[in-house]
Amino acid sequence: MMMDNEIDGDMEELPGQPRVDVPESDLILLQRAAHAIGAVRFEVVVGEGYVNLHFADGSVIHSWNPLMFNGDALDLAVRLRLEIYIHEHDTSAMTSDRKLANEPHGGDAGAATRRAITRVAGEIES
């Protein structure tokens, strides 16, 4: 008798995630944003779509990419005390000294918001 949570048949290996490299222009944005939150070393994880950040106190943030991950973008916005304005067609992110980044939503308001946060973070001097 087969139970509801059993799988019938042979288990095949699940396909792996496709390898993703971060475009060079995005790496520059990420590096500038990382510097703004105090990272002293920026480690690109080739083929994974993210970076690791190393700080002077020895701490490390693994798998960081605020352009891809909502949690990283929110953490970046909170650490830097950014103001975020999400409008119908675009998102603006602003620093306390009024530096501004604006991104049109296109088809993805979330991606535009993450990019606006990351772009303006790169404008902050650490």
- pLDDT for the residue 18: 66
Residue identified by tokens 């288990």 is 11
Q: How many CB atoms lie within 10 A of CB 18?
A: 7
Q: Give percent of the chain with pLDDT exceeding 70.
A: 84
Q: Which residues does the chain have with pLDDT short of 50? A: 2
**Alpha-carbon distance 87 to 68, whole Å?**
20
Q: What is the mean pLDDT of the chain?
A: 89
